[in-house]
Structures are given as structure tokens and as C-alpha cells.
Amino acid sequence: MSTTIVGNAIWFTFVCLALAMACATVRLAIGPGARDRVLAFDTMYIIGVMMVLLMALRSGTSVYFDVALLMALF
């Protein structure tokens, strides 16, 4: 990583996305209705794509961008 600020921001974002993933998992498990569970699953999917994009920024390779694009298409 070229700067420590960017590296720290990426790790902070990973932590925030992990917390959001945990909250969505709880909603998926105890959601009162089917709509809540579907929205929680969709949120988890989007967070997963964002985590792959963060890994692309951290590693500096374009392979992760292709993976994120394929995930978003499906």
C-alpha cells in the first residue's frame, strides 16, 4: 500500500462491512417475514461484492474487479 492512510481506511471499511454483514445475517436468521429475509440476503450479496472490490483495491490487481463484475451480473 502506498500510504498508511489508505491502508487504514481499507481495513476500517472491511470492519464496517463485516459488522453490516453480521447485522444482515441476524436479520436473515430471525426476520419476521419472508420479505425481510430476502432483503437481508440481497444486502449480504451486495456487501460481498463490495468486499471483493476492497480486496481489489488492497491487492492492486484487476482480477478481483473481474470477479466482482461477474458476481454483480449474477
Comparing C-alpha atoms, which of 31, 57, 58 is closest to residue 43?
31
DSSP string, 5-70: HHHHHHHHHHHHHHHHHHHHHHHHHH-SSHHHHHHHHHHHHHHHHHHHHHHHHHH--SHHHHHHHH
Distance, CA of 4 to CA of 2 (rounded, Å): 7
- Give me the pLDDT at residue 35, please: 95
Decide if pLDDT at 2 tops 60: no
Strand, coil or helix: what is 72? helix
Q: pTM for the complete prediction?
A: 0.85
pLDDT digits (tens, 9 = 90+) for 46-65: 999 999 999 999 998 889 99
